[in-house]
Amino acid sequence: MHEKRYWIAWNLVRGVGPKRFAALLAHFGGAEAAWHASPKHWRNVAGFSEAVSKSRLEITEADIDLAILHAEAAGAVVVTLADPDYPSLLRYIYDAPPVLYVSGQPNFMEPSIAVVGTRTPSPLGRNIARRLAAELSEHGITVVSGLARGIDTAAHQGALSGKGQTIAVLGAGIDVVYPAENWQLSAKITEHGANVTEFPPGTAPCGGNFPARNRIISGLSLGVLVVEAGFDSGSLITAEYAADQGREVFAIPGALGNSLSKGPNMLIKQGAKLVEDVDDILEELQLPDRYRNKASNTASPPTSGRTLEARIKELLTIRPVHIDEIARLTGLDVARISAVLLDMEMDGVILRMPGDLIAKA
């Protein structure tokens, strides 16, 4: 917890994002060591300017205590990239947030789909988002969105009516509900999923926060579904992040001449999967039958080698999986997993990817 305190501390410093924080860790060997270094030594870290040094020196131990206190008061826990329960899909994006504030009880191991769109939808668009989110939730799939007005709100509401969970990624601090009228929705989400943000407690919503928030929405998800969006919609930024992160992009087609159809129709022309019903999403992702047919149930850890091979194959139909994640999901140690993976690799069943990621061949 002492080292985590200084992950939180650096999260409070203006100008220290994922890339600069990673450089600090690499240079000093830890967040606490970096925190207590001198400005002269900070300047040896690439990009650490006088302005960033000044921002760091403005943060006191009392400020750190207050941030931790506010997070606890909001019912949030702090999860860092150094923690094993950090969301596995998000961990491997280019600019994964070093610190997440999480309120609720999320199961980050369940497959997730982001549902996003305009803040000013048509009644039809709102209904489509709510219905598809409900159907995804009925299949045990987590629905991720941004708690904004319009399509985001409809997606969270739909997910709450199903058997799955929903995750709201915030563009503000964990103790700030935006828009304010969604405070009841936010409270319900903590009971059936989680509110998640990289921004320190007390951070007010501002325009620059939301594009950064959007990379987390896509980073937590296997794919992003866009429901009604104009050319200038932030939803298209989320779709762009999804494509860059190797996620699927889905879109609901709309009528010609409708300004809210321009975004999804453009995405479809660029190669996004056209979605008419939930089966279009499930088929594209090739999820296991337990997600295609009904809400998921936790399986017992496999014991035999062949049963373990089958379990790993099942996991790889969802996404490439890190070997540590396979160990966590199966309840077995990495050495046992490695032996089975070697056999599977020789049989041509799997591919080993950089970073100890395992993919289906």
Domain range spanning residue 142?
Answer: 104-289
User: For residue 126, is it within any domain?
Assistant: yes
Instruction: With beta carbons less than 8 A apart as the criterion, state whether 136 and 278 touch.
Output: yes
Same domain, 132 and 271: yes
C-alpha to C-alpha distance for 1 and 85, rounded to whole angstroms: 15
Same domain, 190 and 244: yes
The ranges of the chain with pLDDT < 70 are: 1, 294-306, 317-319, 354-355, 361
Q: Which residues contact 154 (CB under 8 A, 6 or more apart)?
A: 121, 126, 127, 129, 130, 133
Q: How far from 293 is each of 168, 188, 245, 283, CA to CA, in Å?
A: 25, 26, 28, 12
Residue 201's Cβ-side half-sphere holds a number of Cα atoms within 13 Å equal to 22
Confidence (pLDDT) at 351? 79
- Burial (CB < 10 A; 0-12, 13-18, 19+), residue 279, is exposed
Q: Which of 99, 98, 92 is nearest to 356 (CA)?
A: 92
User: For residue 205, is it within any domain?
Assistant: yes
Confidence (pLDDT) at 256? 83
User: For residue 299, is it within any domain?
Assistant: no
Same domain, 256 and 135: yes
Confidence (pLDDT) at 300? 41
User: For residue 67, is it within any domain?
Assistant: no
C-alpha to C-alpha distance for 14 and 203, rounded to whole angstroms: 12
Same domain, 135 and 177: yes
Confidence (pLDDT) at 195? 98
Q: Which residues contact 264 (CB under 8 A, 6 or more apart)?
A: 226, 227, 228, 229, 251, 252, 253, 254, 272
Confidence (pLDDT) at 296? 44
Reported pTM = 0.81
Same domain, 169 and 223: yes
